[in-house]
Amino acid sequence: MTHRRRRSALYMPASNARAIAKARTLDCDVVILDLEDAVAPEEKIAARDRVVAAVREGGFGARELVVRINGLDTAWYADDIAAVRGIGVDAVLVPKLSYPAELAAVRGSLGDDGPPVWAMIETCAAILSLPALSEAASSARLTALVAGTNDLAKEMRCRLGADRTPLIPALASIVMAARAAGIVALDGVCNALDDQARFEAECAQGAMLGFDGKTLIHPSQIEAANSGFGPSEDELAWARAIVAAFAMPDTADKGAIRLDGQMVERLHLAEAEAMLRL
């Protein structure tokens, strides 16, 4: 997996030209131009044309640029794939991708030289298929799993509170499947736009579970996501201390060392180096 920050992945409605233009100025790590949920059926074709024009125009800087297409079972899927296949996006996000056969079908539609696939994990079937999806990730160029918490909660018929307790097993499973495949894991959106404390709590929970970042529905959520999924100053200081300790002549060849009263192994060194690269 490449070392790239994905703390904040902002959905922007592809039907809104002003939103697309604004995305070029925001401090998010990932821009997801959305052709699915954010676009009404009668606007799908125009939105697709707008996405193609916007991607070709560029101007998104270092932000990772992803397009969420419509699902495999929709009338717009084939044309969406054809439109985004060769325009230079960083990835194609596929909603409700639940089975390895669907992943293979997407890869076939994109072609071997098409962009990587990001998969929305938002059905019960997808949760049960995570081991198989993880195993197929390399051959299908699947590079991210994105939790679709709204649809997953709806399908589970769970009573979802601020603590998201019913979803914790599924969220942890998404992270484990991503880590097994060496790919990215992004937490689902928070709908509570006017509840900053709840959003920050979800970021803290997602980071605790191991997610790389969070998908967002409004620019006002970017700063908190960047902070919540970025290392703190204390964590950075500890990472620097680990790297410096293993660089000493008398510890450079050791598998484990004692540092400030703690046992530190080379796996901690690798984590520290990755944190500092980000």
122 assigned ligand-binding residue: yes
How far the first Cα of the chain sits from its last, in Å, is 12
Q: Helix (H, G, I), strand (E, B), or coil: what is residue 9? A: strand
Tokens representing 209 are: 């579970």
CB 36 within 8 A of CB 69: yes
User: Tokens 């074709």 correspond to what residue?
Assistant: 45
135 assigned ligand-binding residue: no
Q: Helix (H, G, I), strand (E, B), or coil: what is residue 3? A: coil
CB 229 within 8 A of CB 190: no
142, 189, 197, 267 from 165: Cα distances, Å: 28, 15, 17, 30
CB 200 within 8 A of CB 173: no
Binding residues for substrate: 68, 122
Binding residues for Mg(2+): 122, 151
Binding residues: 68, 122, 151
